[in-house]
Amino acid sequence: MDIQKVLGDLVDKYNKRLETDKELRERMKGVNKRIVLEITGDNTYHIIVANGTVIEFGQGDSDPKDLTVTMDKATYERLHNKETSPFQAYADKKISFKGNLADLLVMKGILMD
């Protein structure tokens, strides 16, 4: 699985949905976040959200950051394929995060279709 492509497609899908979904646009209005995904066995990716829109996505860290989520490649693939839930992966200690729960929910809204 090409995780960078999958993440990029999810970001594009989210931004397109933001254009047409008034409720989502209102909920995300004013949200400004820097999110880092560390995927062991693959790469580190950053997502920068400004006023609810993802304005930057790519490889590498972002500093400062509001949220860092760490998991291995197999866990990401299981999440993407809906073979496990984020809650179950967290309970199994397959995912860790540094940040607050609200930021985690922002990330989930962008990257979980």
Domain segments of the chain: what residues?
3-111
Residues 78, 89 contacting (CB under 8 angstroms): yes
Residues 64, 89 contacting (CB under 8 angstroms): no
> For the CA atoms of the chain, what is the radius of gyration?
13
- Does 3-111 carry CATH code 3.40.50.620? no
Provide the whole-model pTM: 0.89
**pLDDT tens digits, residue range 15-66?**
999 999 999 999 999 999 999 999 999 999 999 999 999 999 999 999 999 9
